């Protein structure tokens, strides 16, 4: 068994506007990095479109329809919120991004992949139950978790998030659902303003806010001292990772000073948790990361670690 890579060309067709940081080159740079010979063993899979049933396990039908009904003409952009807009290709890209997360869950549950990385866009962790925001339309990680529970009958699913921005959408979906763990490190204060350590849900939410300019040592400490012990105690049956690489020191959208070696370290820690509790089952979803070279480097290092442990 090996690592599966899910992506789709439709994810390049989402265009939130000229100079928007969440651009198609993000996925292009990641995929280009994964073309190196060392990544030849990856199982390269096409991300399907999520079904309405899969989306509606998290989002109301009316909200799903309201997003999918926005079909701008070629070259036009329809704003959904202050920093989130849709183009002619956005609806399919959002469906593929959520669908790739679901298909990755199936891959590891069926056993033909040990773990998976989903290189799609738009990202998902800011999307709330009935509100698109923060470049996100559908809550991909939450949809994947609900699929794992509904389709595969898992009792405990964990989502961990190392994006520099707090995953307010993921947290909101599961704040009252003790069968899903959510743990996040993130810059605080920072967009979207959530993620205080006092936000604990029903005991299933663990936030480890980091001050601006926190470095890799502080990042590792937040995970070793706060999030990972709580994750171990939760003992998940599947681990879903919101893999945002915008905590990187080179990233322009925030101020943490994490380096690629720190992401590799954390990936190894998460794989060890998955081995102990989840039969190795781990699904990683691309979230943020806006310096293209840093994103490509860190994503490749993350996938390399997924492949080799």
Token couple for 216: 């890799």
Report yes or no: 23 and 117 within 8 Å, Cβ to Cβ: no
CA distance 130 to 298: 32
Print burial letters for 271-296: b (CB count within 10 Å at least 16), e (below 16): bebbeebbebbbbbbbbbbbbbebbb
Strands (DSSP E) along 21-135, which ranges?
43-46, 78-81, 84-86, 113-118
The single residue of 126, 165, 166, 277 carrying the catalytic annotation is: 126
Cβ count near 55 (within 10 Å): 27
Strands 84-86 and 78-81: antiparallel
CA distance 179 to 58: 15
Which among 192, 255, 193 is positioned nearest to 219, based on CA atoms? 255
To 10 degrees, what angle do helices 140-152 and 90-110 make? 40
287, 170 in Cβ contact below 8 A?
A: no
Q: How many whole angstroms separate alpha carbon 297 and alpha carbon 31?
A: 11
**Phi and psi for 221 in degrees, rounded to 5?**
-65, -40
Q: Are 243 and 162 in contact (CB under 8 A)?
A: yes
Our answer to whether residue 126 is catalytic in this structure is: yes
Instruction: Look up residue 62 and give its DSSP letter.
Output: H
CA-based max dimension of the chain: 50
Under a CB-based contact definition with an 8 Å cutoff, are residues 116 and 239 in contact? no
Active-site positions?
126
């Amino acid at each position: 068994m090996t690592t599966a890579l899910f992506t789709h060309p439709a994810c390049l067709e989402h265009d939130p506007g000229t100079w928007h940081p969440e651009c198609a080159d993000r996925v292009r740079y990641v995929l280009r990095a994964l073309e190196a010979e060392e990544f030849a063993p990856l199982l390269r899979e096409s991300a399907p479109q999520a079904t309405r049933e899969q989306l509606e396990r998290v989002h109301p039908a009316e909200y799903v329809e309201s997003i999918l009904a926005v079909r701008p003409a070629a070259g036009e952009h329809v704003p959904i919120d202050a920093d989130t807009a849709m183009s002619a290709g956005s609806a399919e890209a959002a469906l593929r991004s959520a669908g790739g997360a679901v298909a990755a869950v199936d891959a590891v549950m069926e056993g033909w992949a040990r773990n998976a990385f989903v290189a799609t866009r738009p990202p998902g962790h800011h999307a709330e139950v009935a509100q698109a925001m923060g470049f996100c339309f559908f809550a991909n990680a939450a949809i994947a978790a609900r699929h794992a529970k509904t389709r595969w009958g898992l009792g405990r699913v964990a989502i961990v998030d190392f994006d520099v921005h707090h995953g307010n959408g993921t947290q909101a979906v599961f704040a009252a659902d003790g069968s899903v763990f959510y743990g996040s490190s993130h810059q605080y204060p920072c967009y979207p303003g959530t993620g205080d350590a006092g936000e604990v849900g029903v005991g299933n939410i663990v936030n480890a806010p980091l001050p601006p300019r926190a470095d890799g040592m502080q990042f590792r400490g937040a995970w070793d001292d706060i999030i990972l012990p709580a994750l171990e105690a939760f003992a998940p049956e599947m681990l879903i990772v919101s893999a945002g690489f915008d905590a990187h020191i080179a990233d322009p959208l925030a101020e943490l000073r994490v380096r690629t070696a720190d992401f590799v370290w954390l990936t190894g820690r998460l794989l060890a948790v998955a081995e102990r509790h989840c039969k190795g089952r781990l699904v990683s979803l691309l979230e943020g990361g806006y310096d293209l070279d840093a994103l490509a480097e860190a994503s490749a290092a993350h996938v390399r670690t997924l492949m080799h442990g």
